[in-house]
């Protein structure tokens, strides 16, 4: 059997991934946490978290979790993992040409960006179509914006935009509640219009179409699990989330999944932390 570079590699440095890596590394297992972007995941895009007694700015929490990982001995890596191969050990390859091996891997890659599924959607990417309220919201201060979706991160982002934009309209077909100061339209977006950037969102509701003035649309629907690089041997649910047991173990014993990429998750920081802690305990028992 070949000797792996690491005991554990965590793919994804969001809160669930960072917590898993930290708890595993504290036991002395050699751990790498790798992400294609900066550590923190969705946290770096949130100005305020309400999962605790006192509100926390998202970037501050991301920095805290990253510091804790470093103190625990976690090695941080940067790269876009695009291939994972089983064998005597797991081999991970990145788009940048790097390769790493591990006895066990943890998938904490979260979700891909949402999509409206419209033919001209790409034409408005960066010109009105957005996926981050704290990043792009200030660009639309005092202007009308639309949020596509009302569940999960969508509700958090709508709340964030309500304090910035002139008018916020949530378009969704669910019955999820919307934040104060936000208008709701039950329906689905079927068109984007505008000459020099987005100007109008066309919504179909009750068999009728109507136009809503909007300088931006923040898309939080049709967010698929970021698991397309993983082998087909991992069981998935109907939506493509990785199926896990109560400890985060997948259908392959040496692969775990935590956070938004797994089945049955909810988009709350305290749940992501608990997810990582549970998986870490199981991983340590499996490898020690």
pLDDT in tens, 164-204: 898 999 999 888 888 888 999 999 999 999 998 999 999 99
Q: Which residues contact 151 (CB under 8 A, 6 or more apart)?
A: 172, 174, 176
**Could you give the C-alpha distances from 124 to 128, 168, 194, 283, in angstroms and in order?**
6, 19, 9, 44
Say which CATH topology domain 121-219 has. FAD/NAD(P)-binding domain (3.50.50)
Distance CA 12, CA 84 (A): 14
The architecture in CATH of the region 6-112+224-287 reads 3-Layer(bba) Sandwich (3.50)
Share of the chain above pLDDT 70, in %: 93
Q: What is the pTM of this model?
A: 0.86
Q: What is the per-residue pLDDT for 1?
A: 52
pLDDT for 70-103, tens place per residue?
999 999 999 999 999 998 899 999 999 999 999 9
pLDDT for 215-270, tens place per residue?
999 999 998 999 999 999 999 999 999 999 999 999 999 999 999 999 988 777 78
Banded model confidence at residue 279, pLDDT cuts 50, 70, 90: very high
Domain boundaries along the sequence of the chain: 6-112+224-287, 121-219
Q: Per-residue pLDDT for 137 more than 80?
A: yes
Are 6-112+224-287 and 121-219 equal in CATH topology? yes
pLDDT for 101-129, tens place per residue?
999 999 999 999 899 999 999 999 989 99
Q: Which residues contact 41 (CB under 8 A, 6 or more apart)?
A: 12, 13, 14, 15, 17, 35, 62, 110, 259
């Amino acid at each position: 059997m070949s000797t792996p570079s690491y005991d554990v590699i965590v793919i994804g440095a969001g809160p669930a991934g960072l917590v898993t890596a930290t708890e595993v590394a504290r036991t002395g297992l050699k751990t790498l946490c790798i992400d294609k972007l900066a550590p923190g995941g969705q946290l770096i895009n949130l100005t305020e978290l309400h999962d605790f007694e006192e509100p926390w700015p998202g970037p501050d929490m991301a920095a805290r979790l990253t510091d804790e990982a470093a103190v625990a001995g976690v090695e941080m890596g940067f790269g876009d993992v695009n291939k994972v191969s089983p064998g005597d050990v797991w081999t991970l390859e990145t788009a940048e040409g790097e390769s790493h091996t591990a006895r066990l891997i943890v998938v904490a890659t979260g979700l891909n960006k949402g999509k409206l599924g419209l033919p001209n959607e790409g034409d408005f990417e960066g010109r009105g179509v957005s996926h981050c309220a704290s990043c792009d919201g200030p660009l639309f201060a005092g202007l009308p914006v639309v949020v596509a979706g009302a569940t999960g991160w969508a509700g958090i982002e709508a709340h964030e935009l309500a304090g910035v934009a002139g008018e916020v309209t949530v378009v969704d077909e669910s019955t999820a509640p919307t934040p104060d100061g936000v208008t709701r339209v039950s329906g689905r977006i079927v068109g984007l219009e505008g000459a020099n950037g987005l100007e109008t969102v066309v919504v179909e509701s009750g068999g009728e179409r109507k136009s809503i003035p909007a300088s931006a649309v923040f898309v939080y629907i049709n967010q698929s699990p970021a698991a397309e690089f993983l082998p087909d041997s991992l069981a998935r649910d109907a939506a493509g989330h990785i199926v896990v047991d109560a400890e985060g173990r997948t259908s392959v014993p040496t692969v775990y999944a935590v956070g938004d990429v797994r089945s049955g998750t909810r988009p709350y920081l305290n749940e992501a932390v608990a997810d990582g802690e549970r998986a870490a305990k199981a991983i340590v028992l499996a490898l020690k």
